Amino acid sequence: MAYDVAQLLDMTQTQLDDLFRASPPGDIPDGSAQGTAIIAPGTKYTENIAHIINIFGWQGKVFDAQKGVLKNKVSPLGIEAIVARVYKDKSWLDGAECIVLDYSKTSLLAHYIRDEIRLIDPGFYLGKVYWGKDRLIDFCLRF
């Protein structure tokens, strides 16, 4: 099944978790990705929250697969900032392999953040965000 952002915004948390669990890690991506935050999944607010975050806070990520790093596109101007290391490791959700976006050694601002992504469609990743070991939100990246 081919997925798009609208479908993910309509899913419940359980559906998003099941999709993540069923998906392979894929290759570490390279290049610029449009990001969408998925907050309050399965509610009527999810799409509006995602839209507001895209305008004012976070637009996506820019990966350099060769160097194993990324930068987030933040602010209304899409400034590239907040660096993370990128590598494969076990997911905190299910223990299977995923791509980890690790901010612990690269960012004072996001020191406690860990993202995990898996490939759900060609050029399309579903992600989980953790603060310490606590899950915060989901997101997707379209390359």
CA-based nearest residue to 125, from 43, 53, 65, 52? 65
How wide is the angle at C-alpha 37 spanned by C-alphas 34 and 39, nearest 5°? 165
Phi, psi (rounded to 5 degrees) for 98: -145, 175
pLDDT value at position 109? 86
Domains of the chain (ranges, CATH numbers): 5-142 (2.40.128)
Distance CA 99, CA 93 (A): 12
CA-based nearest residue to 68, from 84, 92, 91? 84
Distance CA 46, CA 28 (A): 27
pLDDT value at position 90? 98
Residues 6+ apart with CB under 8 A from 66: 30
pLDDT value at position 114? 98
Q: How would you classify residue 18: left for phi > 0, otherwise alpha for psi between -120 and 50, otherwise beta?
A: alpha
The pTM of this model reads 0.96
Burial class of residue 77 in the structure, from the number of CB atoms within 10 Å of its CB (0-12 exposed, 13-18 middle, 19+ buried)? exposed
Residue with tokens 């060609």: 122
pLDDT value at position 120? 98
| Mean pLDDT per 10-residue segment, the chain (143 residues) | 94 98 98 98 94 95 98 96 98 98 95 98 98 96 98
Residues 6+ apart with CB under 8 A from 113: 84, 103, 107, 129, 130, 131
